[in-house]
Amino acid sequence: MSEVKKANFSDSAEIEEMDGDLVISWSEGILNRQELSVRNDLIQWSRITEENKQKIGATLGWGALGAILLGPLGFALGAFFGGRKKYIYVAASFVGDKKCVLELTPDDYNLLFTIAPTPETVVK
């Protein structure tokens, strides 16, 4: 299951596939639900790799991106289980200066790759 790992607009954002799109949603109050669509609102994105995670983390202003993605416990568990489930991490920039790190399943990553604009080297 894909997740929003870190976002500058909400601590409880969720991502789901809806009608061939990936939609990030969160609440701002009791009756105020907000959404971002990969198809309509994504400006830039970049797959996070070991080689570029420091540069992307600095660009997003989140410092050590590895700690955000896994944390010490997640790193230990990932090493212990040998990566039984594979996830792909993506830094994304949306309209309205909304930025987030997504943990995507391979299927959701393939959908993002298909519907999103061309990836950029660094998310601004």
Task: Please write the tens of the pLDDT for every residue from 12-59.
Answer: 999 999 999 999 999 987 888 999 999 999 998 988 877 766 666 666
The residues near 28 (Cβ < 8 Å, ≥ 6 apart) are 10, 34
Task: Please write the tens of the pLDDT for every residue from 86-115.
Answer: 888 888 999 998 998 999 999 999 999 999
Give the other-Cβ count within 10 Å of 89's Cβ: 21
Is the whole model's pTM more than 0.95, yes or no? no
Can you tell me the distance from the alpha carbon of 34 to that of 29, in angstroms, rounded to the nearest whole number? 10
